[in-house]
Amino acid sequence: MLDLAGDVDQPPVADVLIENGRIAAVGAAAAERSVREAGIKRIDATGKLVIPGLVNAHYHSHDVLLRGCYEQIPMDIWGFYSFPANYSRRSKEDIRLRTVLGAVECLSNGITTLQDMVTIVGPDREHVDAVREAYEACGARVVLGLQISDRAAVDAVPFWRDMPDDVVSQLPGAADPSKLQALIEDLVEEGGTERLNWALAPSAPQRCSDELLAWVAGLSERRQLQVFTHLYEARSQAVLARLAYPEGSLLAHLDRFDLIGPRLTIAHGVWIAPDEIDRFGAAGASLVCNPMSNMKLLNGFAPVVHYGRAGATMGLGCDNCSCSDAQNLFQSMKMFALMWGFQTAAGEGDAAREAFRAATLGGAKAIGLEGEVGAIRPGYRADIVLLDLDMPSYRPLNSAIRQIVYGETGTGVHTVIVGGDIVVEDRRHVAFANEQLKAEAEAALGRLKDEIAGVNERNERMLPQLLDAYEKANRYPLPLDRFSVRGGEPSSGKGSRS
Ligand SMILES: [Zn+2]
């Protein structure tokens, strides 16, 4: 059984006792009770590596059906392909299906907890119910936030306002968020369940008005809710900060609303300046790094080592299916560890350990579940994954943690337990048959196909202007370079606080 506080190369054999959905005892104490007490159901983990369920700390379930549709596209332009508002209203059944498809993929890859920043068009209460029902049926643990924003696209991306009128007129305008705000308040009031927690999800500071950010800050404070937002994902956002915000900083803008603290979790944080990282880390906020998405959308590399040295908590995510294409934290862990290596002095070790920590304990803290998930320790939720040590990547077993981070692809995930319930057994989800899901996914794609083609056609016409604006932002001088895997940072902590 692998625990970050123990031997992570040759983890010891240990019994784990689960009671009422939580870990009751580990090791000798668990073994003693299992002998003493009759009627305890046993799961034989011989030949398996027992690890805590992984935490996918940044994800959006709304575009699962668009996986594999696109090559690398600049982030700002990708939204015109992927965002739900580009498509007609989906049925409740389609919302449920896409949520199931994403969650079953997560579970099959050893992800037991996910953070879903879902966009609900309408806003349609029925669709929220479909999302909740889907998660319940799959058995996944979820921290759910309905994505909200209200500013016009031309105010959120630099140089878009300068595009020809016929392009600007097709961009989403300002929106009235009041219905969505009311729905979110209702949902938060209703509260969560054992497997579902609510959070707030303002899409990004530049996409939200001051009034909306003030509302987020107030509700977060009143209900002690985690706030998830996208910050400095693309280079263009660092340019926008300098062009349109008084202090030249989106982080400073969030600070105006008292939003920087342990309840703030940002996704990406790529194009952040060194002094902003120090401010962010000192405030006890969390970063969720999405390395595969950051490369697919041409955003670059987050300066993860600087974040760590500044005291920020770090989690890992897989982001959307239409930009990262796989809900697979093994990919994220490997990329994170490789980036970590580039950003530390040669010879400094522990990249694999840092990656595994981000995928478990770090991610748990980042989504507000510290002490609940991310480790197999007494009192924690019984969210456990059994990896099959008979897979070729574990022969021979030199270091469990390195072979997980650098060698595991997800094919070794054999059994997945959430809250003490087996949800994946012998690589198959216990409630959803692969054949059925495959047929339903193909049918749903059939209902969407013409619209995808229509959206592609529309975007094709706007593409030259959008690419011009993208290049303009790319040429705007910035004092940092996140296209470098070293993160445009000194290599051994110079410029950081500690
Ligand atoms: Zn995202």
Residues 211-225: tens digit of each pLDDT: 999 999 999 999 999
Measure 492 CA to ligand 1 centroid, in angstroms.
Answer: 29
Measure 59 CA to ligand 1 centroid, in angstroms.
Answer: 6
Q: Please, are residues 80 and 297 in contact by the beta-carbon 8 Å criterion?
A: no
Say if residue 492's pLDDT is above 50.
Answer: no
Measure 204 CA to ligand 1 centroid, in angstroms.
Answer: 10
Give Rg (Cα) of the chain: 22
pLDDT at 383: 98
Distances (CA, A) of 63 to 248, 298, 321, 367: 32, 19, 6, 21
Measure 53 CA to ligand 1 centroid, in angstroms.
Answer: 21
The pLDDT mean for the chain works out to 95
pLDDT at 111: 98
Average pLDDT estimate for 72-77: 94
Measure 397 CA to ligand 1 centroid, in angstroms.
Answer: 36
Say if residue 490's pLDDT is above 60.
Answer: no
pLDDT category of residue 38 using cuts at 50, 70 and 90? confident
Q: Give me the percent of the chain exceeding a pLDDT of 90.
A: 94
Say if residue 493's pLDDT is above 60.
Answer: no
Q: Please, are residues 18 and 53 in contact by the beta-carbon 8 Å criterion?
A: no
What is the tens place of the pLDDT at every residue in 342-393? 999 877 779 999 999 999 999 999 999 999 999 999 999 999 999 999 999 9
Say if residue 292's pLDDT is above 70.
Answer: yes
Measure 268 CA to ligand 1 centroid, in angstroms.
Answer: 8
Measure 293 CA to ligand 1 centroid, in angstroms.
Answer: 9
Residues 6+ apart with CB under 8 A from 443: none
Measure 66 CA to ligand 1 centroid, in angstroms.
Answer: 15
Q: Give me the percent of the chain exceeding a pLDDT of 70.
A: 98
Domain boundaries, the chain: 50-374+432-436
Measure 288 CA to ligand 1 centroid, in angstroms.
Answer: 10
The topology under which CATH files domain 50-374+432-436 is TIM Barrel (3.20.20)
Q: What is d(CA 326, CA 409) in angstroms, rounded to the nearest whole number? A: 11
pLDDT at 156: 96
Measure 430 CA to ligand 1 centroid, in angstroms.
Answer: 29
Per the structure block, which two tokens stand in for 59? 């994800």
Measure 230 CA to ligand 1 centroid, in angstroms.
Answer: 6
pLDDT at 347: 75
What is the tens place of the pLDDT at every residue in 179-211? 999 999 999 999 999 999 999 999 999 999 999
What is the tens place of the pLDDT at every residue in 414-455? 999 999 999 999 999 999 999 999 999 999 999 999 999 999
Measure 86 CA to ligand 1 centroid, in angstroms.
Answer: 17
pLDDT category of residue 109 using cuts at 50, 70 and 90? very high
Measure 58 CA to ligand 1 centroid, in angstroms.
Answer: 6
Say if residue 256's pLDDT is above 70.
Answer: yes
Say if residue 161's pLDDT is above 50.
Answer: yes
Largest CA-CA distance found in the chain, in angstroms, rounded: 77
Measure 318 CA to ligand 1 centroid, in angstroms.
Answer: 9
Measure 462 CA to ligand 1 centroid, in angstroms.
Answer: 23
Residue 143's beta-bridge partner residues?
115, 197
Under the phi-then-psi rule, with left for phi > 0, alpha for psi from -120 to 50, and beta for the rest, what region is 237?
alpha
Q: Please, are residues 76 and 470 in contact by the beta-carbon 8 Å criterion?
A: yes
Measure 436 CA to ligand 1 centroid, in angstroms.
Answer: 29
Say if residue 98's pLDDT is above 50.
Answer: yes
